[in-house]
Structure 1
Amino acid sequence: MNRRLAGVAAALALVLLAVAAVAATNPAFLITGYDTTTVEAVDGDTGESLATVEARVADGFLKQYVGLSATDDLDAGEGMLFVHGDAAERAYVMRDMAFPIDIVFVDTDGTVTTIHEAAPESGSLTRYEGTGKYVLEVPRGWSERHGVDPGDRLVIDRE
């Protein structure tokens, strides 16, 4: 009887070890889903609406670490919004990314502070730095196509 119990415990331990190994190599397996929100880009001078994006919300460490790396591509009008506790200097990298993106840093009041065009990398990771409480990642060229520049604002629908 004790031998059988020990066997079951050993099998359970192996299963847990296998799950931990898979999660360590690909943390995206631990993410069960994202909330979404609408993000509107607005001209900082005129208030004119420039573009709207439906964004997945990355508001926890694991979702922020994985980011878009578990995504094959973004359609027009899609993005990911990273929500941090406060505005600070931040650096983003293109870890395991399959496609290029714009990285838009946004201050607490919604003002766009910095925009980077970032390409997938095969070697060491480039740090894309900016100041913000929010960071919006959208398909590469989105900012230029819609005329979004530093000084414009993002209106984030977070009820």
Structure 2
Amino acid sequence: MNKTVIALLAGLAASGAAWAQNAMPMMELMAGFHRIEAEVAATDQNRQVGLMNRKAMPPQHGMLFVFDHENTHCMWMRNTLLPLSVAFMDAGGTIINIEDMQPQTEDNHCARRPARFALEMNLGWFAQRGIKPGMKLGGMDKAPRPR
């Protein structure tokens, strides 16, 4: 192998190792018969970073924010490059409200009543599948406790 290929492979291995160190745990959720692969942001650091600086997200992927207490939590899009929709949910996984959020804005998007979870998906994901407030997501009972 030439030196350029070896350097490239070494760089890819290093970036993969860095990604693995920052990777969040994954869990499966169900919205009706729609399967969601959700990264779980259950620590303060993971909740603060969220989906910042990502350029793409597969259609069935999202991020579940697990808050340490129920409150009218708010989300914003600072340093977030993807347009997203967020569903705020109570402790039982019932959707309270869904808000659409535009990239790189600092507008607050808040739960209309105390929420324990928020699920961010690509913009329009919930609407395109007919998922609305009052519906309950499956799998929420397996969400980890916040840390």
TM range (shorter): 0.7 to 0.9
Q: 1:128 aligns with which of 89, 109, 124?
A: 109
Identity of aligned residues (%): 25
Q: Hey, what does 1:93 align to over in structure 2? A: 76
The TM-score with structure 1 as length reference comes to 0.71
Q: Hey, what does 1:37 align to over in structure 2? A: 27
Unaligned runs of 5+ in 2: 1-17
Q: Distance in 1 between matches of 2:132 and 2:23?
A: 31
Q: Distance in 2 between matches of 1:117 and 1:52?
A: 20
The one-letter code sitting in structure 1 at the alignment partner of 2:48 is Y
Q: Distance in 2 between matches of 1:88 and 1:146?
A: 27
The one-letter code sitting in structure 1 at the alignment partner of 2:137 is L
Q: Deviation of residue 82 (structure 1)?
A: 0.4
The structure where strand makes up a greater share of residues is 1
Whose Rg is larger?
1
Q: Hey, what does 1:5 align to over in structure 2? A: none
Q: Hey, what does 2:10 align to over in structure 1? A: none
Unaligned runs of 5+ in 1: 1-27, 42-48
Matched, 1:151 2:137: no
The one-letter code sitting in structure 2 at the alignment partner of 1:66 is V
Q: Deviation of residue 148 (structure 1)?
A: 0.6
The one-letter code sitting in structure 1 at the alignment partner of 2:107 is T
Count of residues paired in the alignment: 122
Trace 1:1-12 onto structure 2 (pairs within 5 A).
none
Q: Distance in 1 between matches of 2:137 and 2:56?
A: 22
The TM-score with structure 2 as length reference comes to 0.77
The one-letter code sitting in structure 2 at the alignment partner of 1:37 is M
The one-letter code sitting in structure 2 at the alignment partner of 1:81 is L
SS of 2:73's equivalent in the other structure is: strand
Matched, 1:118 2:101: yes
The one-letter code sitting in structure 2 at the alignment partner of 1:32 is N
Query: Cα gap change, 1:50/1:148 in structure 2, threshold over 3 Å: closer, same or farther?
Result: farther
* Alignment RMSD: 1.9
Moved over 4 A (4+): none
Matched, 1:102 2:92: no
Q: Deviation of residue 154 (structure 1)?
A: 1.1
